[in-house]
Structure 1
Amino acid sequence: MASSSSIKVEGLLGMVTIRLGDDNFLKWSFQIESLLQGYDLFGHFDGSFVPPPKFAILDEIDVTSEVTAAYRDWLHTDKSLLIFLIATLSDEALEFFIGSKTAPGA
């Protein structure tokens, strides 16, 4: 999985030539999926990259309240991908994504 420091939304957006509209889902989907697979990021959308535990597990019954670095990195990557996805939508398509909080939820 790509680290959060290597994800630059602007760089990915520069490779997107089609915005999702009413009549081009197959073309848009092919472009986005190919791009994200090429950068090993599609797992955020197909569920193969599951978030790591949010809190550190000390033992079988104790969990800390401190958010783990791995979870923060995963969340940063996920939010970057959500921003990327939103930026590839037409105004009409954006209406269907309002309220999405994660890339897979979009």
Structure 2
Amino acid sequence: MATENILVTLLNTQYPRHPLTLVTFHNSIKLTSTNYLSWKTQINSILIGYDIYKFIDGSYPSPTTTITVDNTSSPNPAYQTWLGQDKLLFRALVGMISTNLVPLITQATTSHDAWRILANTYARPSTAILNNLKIT
């Protein structure tokens, strides 16, 4: 039985020189409503290490869906590659959150959207928590 995070590269038929990265997390903590910072630290380190953090931080936006050459429009292979990688990462994120939190990201269309929703939901400490910390 696997006990470590696994990185698998998949053949990219659009751009064979740019394989897709499939990440499988094992023995990693799943996001709950109370452990966001620990979860984020774990996910950040893995995604930075695999050089795919750029998808969730927004620094690698989607290319255009089509390209035009000689007045002829056709599907953009770079977009297909980007979309494939983003969906693989999105799936990995879904697998790393508690089942009851998945509905929070069902409207997200990209891994960046999902990441932003989770951060906006859990990264900001509530007033009640801050007040409790001040008291103790």
TM over 0.5: yes
Q: Indicate if the aligned counterparts of 2:87 and 2:110 stay in contact, CA closer than 8 A.
A: yes
1:40-79 deviation line (CA, Å, top 9, x unaligned): 11111111111222111336xx461x21111100000000
Aligned residue for 1:8?
22
Runs ≥4 in structure 1, deviation > 6 angstroms? Answer: none
Number of residue pairs matched by the alignment:
99
Aligned residue for 2:55?
44
Deviation (angstroms), 1:6: 3.9
Structure 1 distance, partners of 2:92, 2:72, is 33
Greater share of residues in strand: 2
Structure 2 distance, partners of 1:97, 1:17, is 20
Q: 1:26 to 1:88 in 2, by over 3 A?
A: same
1:21 aligns with 2:32: yes
- Greater C-alpha Rg: 2
Aligned residue for 2:103?
95
Scaled by the length of structure 2, what TM-score is found? 0.65
Scaled by the length of structure 1, what TM-score is found? 0.81
Q: 1:42 to 1:63 in 2, by over 3 A?
A: farther
* 5+ long unaligned stretches in structure 2: 1-8, 13-17, 115-136
Q: Indicate if the aligned counterparts of 1:56 and 1:67 stay in contact, CA closer than 8 A.
A: yes
Percentage identity across aligned positions? 29
Specify the SS of the correspondent of 1:34. helix
Q: Indicate if the aligned counterparts of 2:21 and 2:88 stay in contact, CA closer than 8 A.
A: yes
